[in-house]
Amino acid sequence: MGTRTPSESAYSTRIPRVRVPYAFWKRILDFIGSITLIIALSPILLAIAILVKLSSPGPVIYRQQRVGRYGVTFDFLKFRSMYRDADKRLAELLEKGNEKDGPIFKMKNDPRVTPIGRFLRKYSLDELPQLFNVLYGDMSLVGPRPPLPREVDQYDDKAFRRLSVPPGITCLWQICGRSDTSFEDWMALDSFYVEHMSFWLDLKILMKTPTAVLRGDGAY
């Protein structure tokens, strides 16, 4: 897929190894939490699916290859928030320039996003299918957001540090401004998480996520 293999220094011994009890109980929490949320949010999931289906032609769920822990790729699930030809139009938009620094492509008024998609993105409702990624073990409830392979191709060894832990639905970046955050600050937040991850930090992020989502800051 073109994703380059990180050098040995990318997973430096300076990065704390995930403690076995923490990793075990984190997975248990992810499994129970994802099942509970899927059941509790099932009416909302169904309503969103219907709205997406009626909004424009195309599938309800958008599948995209993302890079997880240690560079392993997986099918990343989202409610479709763009028109069906969005991927084909990306090259055209890239030629016009990127509004963000670093390898991340972001555009506040992306013409590929559907009207319902803008609403879903503002409140991160398009991310809800990732609860199934958590259930399957591809992701965690808390962890760095999983990048695209083309983004990883541009990573330096410092950025590779974020691939040392399972990717998550929410993270420090999610509660600190999301797309309004610079790429450098984003990587710094993820590095902090990798170096200090604990149940207390996970709990703090989970508790702050609903408020950040409702504010909608940096969501586009």
Longest dimension (CA), the chain: 50
Rounded CA gap, 90 and 103, in Å? 14
Domain span holding position 183: 18-215
**What's CA 143's distance to the chain center, in Å?**
9
Tens digits of residue pLDDT in 64-83: 999 999 889 999 999 999 98
Residue 100 resides in a domain: yes
The percentage of residues in the chain with a pLDDT greater than 70, rounded to a whole number, is 83
Residue 13 resides in a domain: no
Tens digits of residue pLDDT in 164-191: 899 999 999 888 877 677 888 888 899 8
Residue 139 resides in a domain: yes
The yes-or-no verdict on residue 2 having pLDDT over 50 is no
pTM of the model: 0.84
Query: Which has more pLDDT, 89 or 209?
Result: 209
Residue 7 resides in a domain: no
Residue 4 resides in a domain: no
- In the chain, the amino acid numbered 35 is I
CB neighbour class for 135 (10 Å; exposed up to 12, middle 13-18, buried from 19): middle
The yes-or-no verdict on residue 17 having pLDDT over 50 is yes
- The count of structural domains within the chain is 1
What interhelical angle do 42-55 and 115-122 show, nearest 10? 150
